[in-house]
A and B are shown apart, each in its own frame.
Chain A
Amino acid sequence: GAVVSQHPSRVICKSGTSVKIECRSLDFQATTMFWYRQFPKKSLMLMATSNEGSKATYEQGVEKDKFLINHASLTLSTLTVTSAHPEDSSFYICSASQADPATDTQYFGPGTRLTVL
């Protein structure tokens, strides 16, 4: 149980285009979903936290107009990288928790490798 999927697993796009990444909780309802970015040889950096039906809370330094997050249902959150540039190339990982994130485990997706040419 507690499986989180991401789609696509890998995407290559041209500079200036937008890319949407989906995160789904397959066998549970996720009240809270998180989006992380992982740079090579770096730890995961939390980008934003989203609760179903409400606006995402972005971490300091993360451009909310560039990284659009939608959490329309209890099993789906999407991250759209708008007008992508090469510096947006990274590994994006989502996670989901069923209940109170203070006490409930976060379950992580396998990640999406974004390459912007």
Chain B
Amino acid sequence: AQSVTQPDIHITVSEGASLELRCNYSYGATPYLFWYVQSPGQGLQLLLKYFSGDTLVQGIKGFEAEFKRSQSSFNLRKPSVHWSDAAEYFCAVLLYSGAGSYQLTFGKGTKLSVIP
């Protein structure tokens, strides 16, 4: 079955340290991949997406992600974390669900805590 796995439920990093959030997907075809961030009281905000082309994707807020087909991964990275990056991060894959319909399937999320 098609799925998205985020192996880390909770990650804590110090402010200024680098960050990598893992995401693995299970999907037969080339996937459309997304990273969203959810802050309390706010809607999910798109950080970046990969549809095709360059496998290293730049997003907002200094985030980037790399699509690695051989590893079925789409890990999110940031070289230097800011306290305001503390939030819940979701990886998602857009799947074709038939009859011209598509749906986003989300991972369970990774909560990021940042130590000042």
Contacts and interface: CB of A to CB of B under 8 A. Distances in A.
Contact residues on B (Cβ < 8 Å of other chain), bracket: 20 to 34
A105 B41 contact: no
A110 B41 contact: yes
Interface stretch (B13-21, B67-75, B79-87, B103-111): B103-111
Contact of A101 (B43, B45, B102, B105): B102
Interface stretch (A36-44, A63-71, A79-87): A36-44
For the residues of A in contact with B, the DSSP-based class is loop
Contacts of B4: 43
* List of 7 A-B pairs having minimum Cβ-Cβ separation, nearest first: A108-B43, A108-B44, A43-B106, A110-B43, A43-B108, A44-B106, A102-B102
24 contacts: A6-B43, A34-B103, A34-B104, A41-B108, A41-B109, A43-B90, A43-B107, A44-B44, A44-B90, A44-B106, A46-B103, A46-B105, A59-B103, A95-B44, A95-B104, A101-B102, A102-B94, A102-B96, A102-B102, A103-B51, A106-B46, A108-B36, A108-B45, A109-B43
